[in-house]
């Protein structure tokens, strides 16, 4: 059987890290080693992790003397990992029962695959969950070769999709590309997944296997709320895809499509309040029309359609203004 190394990085998640550890330890096929790195936490994280280390013989606990950041902690854990496959998780996320049994088991059947993954659930701070993210064109477990990974996953799913919390890596494939590139910040693991998948393909299980928890203070969210930072990461990622090291893995057409699509997603995110407001107005109009008299219903419907046309026109104007502002801000930042 293939061996699995689970890496878990924590910073001030004393109330959550126990949940993440328990989810890994309780797997029907538990990891062969669990390396937990505490990144200089100032809360009770260390005490929580030590309590688990005393009960779990395959748990190795490492402490950074100072806060070095998620990437540095992940690199430290990866350097010690010995498993054939590596799972890297954050302390505020957690895996679901049967994750390793399903995904690693499938990877054993298709050892040519460089990664393996399943569907990922998004959980909001209040505990509510969004629908699962995954590859919609694949409804049965199996191996997806590189060419189909490109056409049926990367080119059809949203350009910003990231299944990092539900992915395992073949360790040698991860080391081959130099691990997670630090310059890509919160997108470093997604880049690694795509670089490996485009050369070796992946195993995919169409079931929920992990939960990504939206943490307003986390690395991903802090990047998402900063459009300029997000745009800079997109530019660096595209440049890396086009570099001599990775150009053979990332087709030029895909890189262009991804860069444009991700930039558009960043712009739309800045306009999300306006989008939400328009949708709310449309909903109220529809509800009012249902209980209105026939002539008032006609007036409401006419107004609703007029608002829709006006919104679309103003939306495209605003979208262009935001896009130009972001480009100017990027040019100023680059010049500095």
Distance CA 7, CA 81 (A): 8
pLDDT at 253 over 70: yes
Query: Which 3 state secondary structure label does DSSP give 155?
Result: coil
Q: Report the pLDDT averaged over residues 11-26.
A: 95
Distance CA 93, CA 78 (A): 18
Q: Report the pLDDT averaged over residues 257-278.
A: 81
pLDDT at 139 over 90: yes
What percentage of the chain exceeds 90 in pLDDT? 65
Q: Report the pLDDT averaged over residues 221-249.
A: 86
Say which residue, 222 or 105, is predicted with more confidence.
105
Mean pLDDT check: name the lowest of 165-179, 200-214, 278-292, 320-334: 320-334
Which pLDDT value is given to residue 164?
93
Which pLDDT value is given to residue 111?
96
Distance CA 114, CA 197 (A): 6
Q: Report the pLDDT averaged over residues 72-87.
A: 96
What angle separates helix 272-291 from helix 294-335, to the nearest 10 degrees? 180
pLDDT at 223 over 80: no
- Return the percent helix, strand and coil in the chain, to nearest 5: 55, 15, 30
pLDDT at 335 over 80: no
Look-up of token digits 């107004």:
303
What percentage of the chain exceeds 70 in pLDDT? 95
pLDDT at 319 over 80: no
pLDDT band at 219; cut points 50, 70, 90: low
Which pLDDT value is given to residue 146?
98
Mean pLDDT of the chain: 90
Q: Report the pLDDT averaged over residues 96-115.
A: 97
pLDDT at 268 over 90: no
Note the pTM of the prediction, 2 decimals. 0.84
Mean pLDDT check: name the lowest of 101-105, 179-183, 297-301: 297-301
Q: How buried is 87 (Cβ within 10 angstroms: 0-12 exposed, 13-18 middle, 19+ buried)?
A: buried
CB 289 within 8 A of CB 304: yes
What angle separates helix 252-270 from helix 294-335, to the nearest 10 degrees? 120
Mean pLDDT check: name the lowest of 121-125, 129-133, 140-144: 129-133
What residues contact residue 145 under an 8 Å CB cut-off, 6+ apart?
Answer: 201
Which pLDDT value is given to residue 296?
83
pLDDT band at 221; cut points 50, 70, 90: low
Distances in whole angstroms, Cα of residue 208 to Cα of each of 1, 100, 105, 130:
23, 12, 16, 12
pLDDT at 26 over 80: yes
Which pLDDT value is given to residue 225?
67
Which pLDDT value is given to residue 310?
80
């Amino acid at each position: 059987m293939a061996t699995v190394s689970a890496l878990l990085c924590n910073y001030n998640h004393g109330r959550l890290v126990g949940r993440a550890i328990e989810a890994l330890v309780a797997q029907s096929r538990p990891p062969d080693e669990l390396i937990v790195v505490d990144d200089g936490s100032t809360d009770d994280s260390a005490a929580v992790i030590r309590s688990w280390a005393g009960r779990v013989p395959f748990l190795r606990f490492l402490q950074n003397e100072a806060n070095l950041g998620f990437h540095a902690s992940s690199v430290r854990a990866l350097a010690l990992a010995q498993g054939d496959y590596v799972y890297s998780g954050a302390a505020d996320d957690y895996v679901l029962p049967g994750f390793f049994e399903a995904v690693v088991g499938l990877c054993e059947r298709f050892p040519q695959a460089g990664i393996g993954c399943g569907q990922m659930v998004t959980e909001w701070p209040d505990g509510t969950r969004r629908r699962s993210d995954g590859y919609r064109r694949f409804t049965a477990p199996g191996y997806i070769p590189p060419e189909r990974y490109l056409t049926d996953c990367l080119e059809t799913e949203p350009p910003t999709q990231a299944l990092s919390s539900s992915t395992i890596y073949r360790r040698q494939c991860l080391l081959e590309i130099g691990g997670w590139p630090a310059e890509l910040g919160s997108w470093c693991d997604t880049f690694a997944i795509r670089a490996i998948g485009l050369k070796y393909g992946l195993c995919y299980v169409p079931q929920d296997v992990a939960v990504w928890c939206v943490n307003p203070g986390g690395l991903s969210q802090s990047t998402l709320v900063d459009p300029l930072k997000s745009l800079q990461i997109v530019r660096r990622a595209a440049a890396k895809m086009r570099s001599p090291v990775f150009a053979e893995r990332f087709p030029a057409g895909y890189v262009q499509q991804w860069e444009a699509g991700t930039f558009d997603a960043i712009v739309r995110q800045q306009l999300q309040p306006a989008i939400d407001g328009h949708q709310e107005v449309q909903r109220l109009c529809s509800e009012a029309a249902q209980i209105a008299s026939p002539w008032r219903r006609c007036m409401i419907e006419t107004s609703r359609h007029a608002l829709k046309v006006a919104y679309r026109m103003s939306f495209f104007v605003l979208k262009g203004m935001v896009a130009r502002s972001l480009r100017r801000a990027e040019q100023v930042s680059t010049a500095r």
